Chain A
């Protein structure tokens, strides 16, 4: 049996999903966190079920790719029960999706989530009455505390057994007449019995839904009979047919809302409004923004640096011990030293920065600060031809480029997705941030690290301007973004999410680091790395870097962390300053920050923007990296700051 969680963005689908699946889906407090579906097996009262967490959709009309993905799933005919999750505090708007889901004629259950938030707003909902009107069970829940979830899943079984398909409230008479006319046309003209219910299809065709119009063209002769019916609607109501239907649905939803809910008291003077008066303020908003991110980076560096130093010393001591134990130049020494350096890299260099970074990012996400950043930054994003929503993939890019590239699906226009996908790969991900902190901040100064971040933002902005001039988006209108209410980060969830992301490093990246480090040590033993180094020597020579860093750049293509750990391996010491000057460290870091995305990111790019796009991203980032590293090299040649 397959259960699908469907609902509008940011209503808590993923939180419910995680409560039954352990932590598998990323949740946060901004619309569009889930861009592809996640599936899990679970047991309810002894039954095995597959539960899918779909991307949030405001409606079932074709919208952005994330929404299409959700719709494709719901229409696949493989879903046995739909759990329609609703943010109870936004009941009126949410019901519009519910009405469309009912048209799918699949057994359904309504989950009135965020009841605590509704209560705070002073909204009281009569769940039994709503259940009566829609013909499906309605279960109030508070997903963050788990309240009501058990009842929800027990009712899912009941709904499935009874095959309870709800009743769709009817439109006004004249619209229903036209719908049923189209209904009978489709029934006679469409030879294959599709899984899509004809009433749903008729309504979508009247709404002029691009996808279904094309489907109808391919499958039947009914196309030329749709337009006259649309025109008839337009004549009666004096507005385009899509608007007639959507207004009608809106009216139905409002009507339902009024019947089942009462505002028992006006919302209490909410502290969150006062907070927003500052956070979204024309002037103070930006001060707070700078402060938040400045504090954020200082927090990471403070913790990371404090842990890195003693650990590095310890590992250096052990590595020295190895040399004594195995004797200089032996194969065993190279091998064990490689492995130990890989382990050291993970514990001493990556994790001290990665852990506070990911926890901090999770908190920012869960509180709901990111959409506010989008609001504040919109005007600046316009200057580079994008709009505020694109800031969300960028911020996620500071965590990892792969989800950032996938998050571009929340953008409406293909050109924007294309540009933002390429740009996000230039944002230093957690791995590269580790390099910036572990090398530049640690060996030079925290301010030098900040300089790299500032340079990075400048370069991304200029690149954005260049790309948006090359690939303009004529249809772009600007920002339309829901700004969700602040939430106290559900601590358990936030920590679980951070752990989920850290685990990704520990299970996937770290073993790779250790193997890579051992491999490089063996290559060094067999002097194979010299070939790589010689192959890359034109580049390292051009940038004034030690020839021995060449091989590390190749490893960095697999995982960005490898560049750093390989660096200590290639240089033969963790005391980088003994073999590289501070200027060389800057040049190396600038290059590594910008050059070619890692393999996983290239794969994500390939999927999102195609082969050509991925290739363009590689060439673009490589040229940017070479040019910037060269400028850095020349700059420090003229102004030897250190």
Chain B
């Protein structure tokens, strides 16, 4: 198990848990990110900038700090 910001580009991962309060869970949920969902890591921003992921067919940019709170399991 690792956190989303550690997943390599073009790899897929399954969300295990979101660590944080109701606020962050809600925001991520609205973007279609819940425990159990599959996320594809598309790219990293420069200088520890945000990451770009694909989830349920849409692309979402996430700050690294948020990404580090999403526990995931990498899928081969």
Contact = CB atoms under 8 A, between A and B. Distances in A.
A337 B50 CA distance: 56
B1 interface: no
A90 B58 contact: yes
A63 B25 CA distance: 12
A105 interface: no
Interface in A209-263: 239-240, 242-243, 246-247, 250
Contacts of B29: 59, 243, 246, 250
Contact of A388 (B23, B44, B47, B61): B61
Contact of A479 (B32, B43, B59, B63): B63
A374 B34 contact: no
Contacts of B65: 477-478
Contacts of A478: 50, 62-66
Contacts of A480: 27-28, 31, 60-63, 66
Nearest to A245: B29
Nearest to A9: B30
A217 to B, nearest CB: 18
Nearest to A89: B57
Interface string B28-48: 111110111100000111111
B64 A242 contact: no
Contact of A378 (B28, B37, B50, B56): B50
B75 interface: no
Given A280-B43, A483-B59, A388 B50 contact: yes
Nearest to B54: A483
B61 A240 contact: no
A379 B48 CA distance: 7
Contacts, number: 124
A409 interface: no
B22 A376 contact: no
Nearest to B49: A379
A93 interface: yes
A483 B23 contact: no
A475 B27 CA distance: 13
Contacts of A379: 45-50
B26 interface: yes
Contacts of B27: 63, 412, 480
Mostly, the B contact residues are mixed
Interface residues of A, number: 44
B34 A90 contact: no
Given A59-B29, A92-B32, A208-B22, A283 B46 contact: yes
A428 B20 CA distance: 39
Contact of A92 (B26, B57, B62): B57
Contacts of B22: 208, 240, 242
Contacts of B49: 375-376, 378-379
Nearest to A479: B63
Contacts of A479: 50, 61-63, 66
B68 to A, nearest CB: 10
A286 B32 contact: no
Interface in A314-372: 371
B26 A240 contact: no
| Most A Cβ at <10 Å: residue of B22, B28, B37, B50 | B50
B19 to A, nearest CB: 11
B59 A90 contact: no
A380 to B, nearest CB: 8
Given A479-B62, A482-B60, A375 B34 contact: no
Given A375-B45, A379-B50, A480-B66, A93 B58 contact: yes
Given A58-B31, A246-B29, A379-B50, A374 B61 contact: yes
Interface in A463-513: 475, 477-485
Interface in A262-317: 280, 282-283, 285-286
Most buried by B among A90, A285, A375, A387: A375
A371 B58 CA distance: 13
A483 B51 CA distance: 11
Nearest to A273: B42
Contacts of A124: none
A360 B23 CA distance: 37
A67 B44 CA distance: 29
Given A89-B57, A484-B58, 20 more contacts: A61-B26, A63-B30, A92-B56, A121-B57, A242-B26, A243-B34, A246-B29, A375-B50, A378-B45, A378-B50, A379-B47, A379-B50, A388-B63, A412-B27, A478-B63, A478-B65, A479-B61, A479-B66, A480-B63, A482-B60
12 contacts: A59-B29, A63-B27, A92-B56, A121-B57, A208-B22, A247-B35, A282-B45, A378-B49, A378-B61, A388-B63, A477-B20, A478-B65
The 3 closest A-B pairs by CB, nearest first: A478-B63, A58-B30, A379-B49
